[in-house]
Chains A and B, each alone.
Chain A
């Protein structure tokens, strides 16, 4: 009896002091809290505010009743989604394109970094760097404009884009690049490499700069050639960065580049080029009015993406590099 009353008193005292301590704590760090306040407000309104609409994925939207009042329909829209061949197609395309980008783009980035690093004439090296970083800063609208100009198919009336002019000069048949479903993914991959390879290589430059030059000197004394040095000295040194980049890349497996595809695709290549982001756009705002389906698809993708990210982040943690969380 006695004991319990004492503990109760203790408890309330604790509560009081907790509140007190809380305010004291806030007062102590008021400036830090003040600093994060604008960002916090933005985040709550613009990022968490949209989460309210996620319920659309489980409802039949009725404008009269509003989002909140609309009727729950369970997993109806998810079933719809799974049965929609266009969704399946977009999903497949997204994964395939991302795998291409991973296989070719990712390795290319590393190679580019290693090769540029091998260039010893400073001026040449820095001018090459200047050139390869540049495309990254142009928007996909601009870049797709360039691509269209270059890949244009010749007609009876004009000579087509530069690429086809070269092909014809070499005696080949001109290729109608942007209309060929079998080439479209390749075009996406290659143009993505041109646009981002230089920029992506920067990560490796940072790691390469940290390698101790004496390592190379002693290897040279041992009679190793440049190629051996690249394989045995340089490559292992940048492996951690490679691992991190690989994981970051993997975490975007379900993310498709709306800008790139939207600015390049057409009816001809929907079968291989329609990706999830363009699909969501088309059924939601760009021509369709399937609000619920669009939201449901987004929810599924986000969830899957998040799972991948959490997994990869865990791996990054174990690699002893700083993750994103």
Chain B
């Protein structure tokens, strides 16, 4: 009963600020869901810098106890295949993203010109692939025939045309680049080439930037191509795969721990190393996240829905 009284008290107090019970409910709901979304990451970050003796005591880990300790990061960065995989991930993310954005955006622009013959058909042909494909085995055989299996390029080239972002960019070019602008440029004597470079690209710069970031995040997180088409070639493994192995496979963990013990460190506990790896994998995404958020909230990436 007491709580109830309190809450009504609160109600009247809040009401003075224009709040009511309804507001309280909404605030509580939204804030707790928001916390649910970020707390796990915070927990892992805290756990990864907490000394093991403290971590093992359990609890909610709201703040690092017993001092901050970067020894686990030292242990993982001491491992060559670890640092190597970071380079692989960076380079493949860069190459694959550049290629993908170039190919996808040019094609999306071309196809958005529906008055040009053939574009409607090509559009259907592209989108069809979103729902229909040969499947894993034909894909595997195709890459074998193209000599892509077990090469670095299998992580870069096949994804060049990203169909999801093709649709988004096509819709953007169709609906959000003002046709008047293009027509005006043409009246001024611009050719298609001129229109594309002088009008369309500057106008859609922010959209292209957003899509680039999105595709980059996808590429950074991707381990599927490695797992399926390279399988086991430590010199080519991307960081996302190392992360997966750290989570489920003992051999990677052993390498890191052996390396740490050779450095003269106390044998680090597997759980702590896993946390540190998770943080390393999240870091680049966190760095670009403010930019990502800026772009996608303005709705440009959701071209699928026309108001």
A contacts B directly (C-beta below 8 A): yes
Residues of A within 8 A of B (CB): 25, 29, 31-33, 35-36, 38-40, 42-43, 45-54, 56, 67, 112, 115-116, 118-119, 124, 127-135, 137-139, 141-142, 144-150, 158-160, 162, 165, 194, 197-199, 202-203, 205-207, 210, 225-227, 240-241, 244-245, 248, 251, 258-259, 263, 280-281, 284-285, 291, 294-295, 297-299, 302-303, 305-306, 309, 321-322, 324-325
Which chain A residues lie closer than 8 Å to B224 at the CB level? 258-259
Chain B 1-39 residues near chain A, CB threshold 8 A:
20, 22-23, 26-27, 29-31, 33-38
The answer to whether B132 and A38 have CB atoms under 8 Å apart is no
Q: Are A205 and B297 in contact (CB under 8 A)?
A: yes
Beyond A134-B289, A302-B132, is A42–B110 a contact (Cβ under 8 Å)?
no
Tell which of A148, A194, A198, A248 touches B304, judged by Cβ atoms closer than 8 Å: A248
In the bound assembly, the distance between CA atoms of A244 and B60 in angstroms comes to 40
Q: Which chain B positions have C-beta within 8 A of A45?
A: 146
Q: Are A325 and B123 in touch, CB under 8 angstroms? A: yes
Among A127, A205, A299, A309, point to the contact of B135 (Cβ < 8 A).
Answer: A299
Chain B min CB distance to A110 (Å): 13
Contact A210 B307 (CB under 8 A): yes
CB atoms of B30 and A50 under 8 A apart: no
- Between-chain CB contacts (< 8 Å), 27 pairs: A29-B117, A29-B192, A31-B196, A32-B110, A38-B107, A39-B107, A46-B157, A49-B142, A51-B133, A52-B142, A118-B26, A124-B31, A137-B217, A137-B285, A139-B240, A141-B221, A142-B281, A145-B274, A148-B247, A159-B58, A162-B58, A206-B305, A248-B304, A294-B137, A305-B131, A324-B127, A324-B167
Instruction: Determine the distance from Cα of A144 to Cα of B247 in the docked complex, in whole angstroms.
Output: 9
Residues of chain A within 8 A (CB-CB) of B129 are 43, 47-48
Considering only CB atoms, which chain B residue lies closest to A114 in the complex?
B26
Q: Which segment of B40-48, B177-185, B253-261 sits at the interface? A: B40-48
How big is the B interface, by class? Answer: 35 or more
Contacting A at CB under 8 A, from B74-118, are 102-104, 106-107, 109-111, 113, 116-117
Q: Which of B23, B31, B107 is packed against the most chain A CB atoms within 10 Å?
A: B107
Asked if B299 and A202 make an inter-chain contact with CB atoms under 8 angstroms apart, the answer reads: yes
Q: Which residue of B lies closest to A162 (CB)?
A: B60
Cα distance, A210 to B299, chains bound together (Å): 12
Chain A residues near B137 (CB-CB < 8 A): 53, 56, 284-285, 291, 294-295, 298
Residues of B within 8 A of A144 (CB): 247
- Residues of B whose CB lies within 8 Å of any CB of A are 20, 22-23, 26-27, 29-31, 33-38, 40-41, 43-44, 47, 56-61, 102-104, 106-107, 109-111, 113, 116-117, 119, 122-142, 146, 157-158, 160-161, 166-167, 171, 175, 191-193, 196, 217, 221-224, 228, 240, 243-244, 247, 271, 274-275, 278, 281-282, 285, 289, 292-293, 296-297, 299, 302-307
Please give, as numbers and ranges, the residues of chain B lying within 8 Å of A50 by CB-CB distance.
133-135, 138-139, 142
Residues of chain B contacted by A46 (CB below 8 angstroms): 142, 157-158, 160-161
Do the beta carbons of A146 and B44 come within 8 Å of each other? yes
A-chain residues with CB within 8 Å of residue B36 when the two chains form the complex? 194
Contacting pair B43 A162 (CB below 8 A): yes
Main secondary structure of the interface of B (DSSP, over half): helix
Cβ contacts under 8 Å, B161 to chain A: 39, 42-43, 46-47
Q: Known interface pairs A129-B297, A142-B281, A305-B131. Does A36 touch B110 (Cβ–Cβ under 8 Å)?
A: yes
Question: Which chain B residues lie closer than 8 Å to A31 at the CB level?
Answer: 191-193, 196
Cβ contact within 8 Å between A322 and B106: no
| CA–CA, A207 and B299, complex, Å | 10
Tell me, rounded to whole Å, the shortest Cβ–Cβ distance linking B193 to chain A. Answer: 5
Q: A284 and B282: CB pair below 8 A?
A: no
In the complex, chain A residues whose CB is within 8 Å of the CB of B271: 149
Closest A residue to B193 by beta carbon equals: A31
In the complex where A149-B44, A309-B131 touch, is A32 in contact with B38 (Cβ < 8 A)?
no
Chain B residues, CB < 8 A from A51: 133-134, 138
Most chain A CB atoms below 10 A, which of B102, B124, B274, B305: B305
Q: How far is the CA of A302 from the CA of B135 in the complex (A)?
A: 9
Contacting pair B44 A135 (CB below 8 A): no
**A-B complex: 3 closest residue pairs judged by Cβ atoms:** A53-B138, A39-B107, A50-B134
A325 contacts which chain B residues (CB < 8 A)? 123-124, 127
What separation, in Å, do the CA atoms of A307 and B167 have in the docked complex? 19
Taking the nearest CB of chain B, how far is it from the CB of A228, in angstroms?
A: 11
B22 touches A124 (CB 8 A): no
B244 nearest CB neighbor, chain A only: A141
Task: Write the chain B residue with the least CB distance to A245.
Answer: B305
Pick the contact of A131 from B34, B119, B140 — CB < 8 Å?
B34
Residue among A39, A294, A303 making CB contact with B103, cutoff 8 Å: A39
Q: A42-B103, A291-B137 are known contacts; what are 16 more A-B pairs with Cβ within 8 Å?
A: A36-B110, A39-B103, A40-B107, A43-B125, A50-B134, A119-B26, A119-B27, A128-B34, A141-B247, A150-B40, A202-B296, A202-B297, A207-B305, A294-B136, A302-B135, A322-B304
Q: In whole Å, how far is A3's beta carbon from the nearest beta carbon of chain B?
A: 32
